Homo-oligomer: A and B are copies of this chain.
Amino acid sequence: MMASSADQSQLRPELLDTFRRGDAWIARAVVGNDKVFPPGQPLVTAGGASDMIFRIRTGWLVRSRTLPDGRRQIISLYLPGDLVGVKSLLFTRQPDAIECLTGATVGVIHHADLHRLCEQHCEVAFRLMWHIADEEFRLHKWMISLGRGTAEERLALMFLDLRDRLRRLGLTSSESFRLPMTQQHIGDHLGLTVVHVNRMLRRFREARMMTLKAGMAMIHDADALQRIAGPVQDVFQREQHEGGVAPA
């Protein structure tokens, strides 16, 4: 069974069991409703409506918004195990597009079924609420990075964050992982241009901190990345590294 991100989060321990049961109900509901999407395929288009939510089995999705003049912001990345589109339960339309970064297989649940499930098992509603809260939690983190971080800090933070997320999911145990994003994607996520992302990556490479090549990210010196990202991380992330990074 795939580990859930709740295990490592700040979820109140007394709620963990409720969480797990809700999750299990949802997992059961999507069995047999898998859909396969090719890379680049939109699941939801900007300004459109939707009557289903998704649970990713394999592949990466992104939520993004594109401005009329072409500027684009990738708001969040979704990995296997994530629920996607939960807010569409509440809102008629939504201004973001959700699309595949890689080929992806996702389980589909229609709103009607989910509503029924919520009524029958209130842990499901709880699970959905937790999902939204967790996503917001993550957004807070990125707000700091976007608003106050330098290009280096944003990059370092992103790589460490992805490594940790993938580890938690058991999708990698080493310091290297598959990263199915072009440098353009990375720029759109971090609010930088491709050109500048490229330059910063070169700097990381030359400092032997990490390499990004052929869709593979390899972290050579996690401590160094950690030192760069440290200032823009939140209290909890910093606490985990307190022992390793001794202050002068």
Chain A residues proximal to chain B, CB less than 8 Å: 9-13, 15, 46-47, 63, 65, 67-69, 71-73, 75, 87, 90-96, 122, 125, 128-130, 132-133, 135-137, 139-140, 142-144, 146-148, 190-191, 231-232, 234-236, 238
Contacts and interface: CB of A to CB of B under 8 A. Distances in A.
Given A71-B148, A72-B148, A143-B146, A236 B129 contact: no
B133 A12 contact: no
Given A95-B140, A147-B190, A148-B67, A130 B90 contact: yes
B73 A147 contact: yes
A158 to B, nearest CB: 13
A147 B71 CA distance: 10
A144 B65 contact: yes
A95 B147 CA distance: 16
B136 A132 contact: yes
Contacts of A142: 143
A1 B13 CA distance: 38
Contacts of A128: 129
A13 B46 CA distance: 20
Contacts of A96: 140
B143 A235 contact: no
Given A128-B129, A191-B146, A46 B235 contact: yes
Query: Which one of A65, A128, A130, A142 has the greatest number of beta carbons of chain B within 10 Å?
Result: A65
